[in-house]
């Protein structure tokens, strides 16, 4: 596997709101405090009906990490 392929698979997570980020900063909270050290992949479809979304204070549908270091 090439170095470019490995870098492409590195997913960044916002340390502030735990959302999966595809750029240099989070589109939800605006933070540029990102991490590649995370665990637990979570997809929220309906935050109003999701118990885990309520516990994590997630109000928007999307992809999130459960724990970010």
Per-residue pLDDT tens for 7-43?
456 899 999 999 999 999 999 999 999 999 999 999 9
Q: How many domains does the chain have?
A: 1
On whether the CB atoms of residues 14 and 34 are closer than 8 A, the answer is yes
pLDDT recorded at residue 10: 83
Quote the domain boundaries for residue 13: 3-68
The DSSP code sequence of 31-51 is ---EES-EEEEEEES-TTT-H
CATH code of the domain containing 13: 2.20.28.90
Q: What is the value of pTM for the model shown?
A: 0.82
């Amino acid at each position: 596997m090439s170095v470019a392929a490995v870098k492409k698979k590195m997913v960044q997570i916002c340390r502030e709101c735990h959302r999966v980020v595809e750029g240099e900063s989070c589109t939800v909270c605006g933070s540029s405090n990102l991490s590649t050290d995370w665990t637990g992949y979570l997809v929220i479809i309906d935050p109003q009906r999701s118990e885990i979304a309520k516990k994590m204070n997630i109000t928007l549908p999307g992809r999130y990490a459960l724990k970010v270091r």
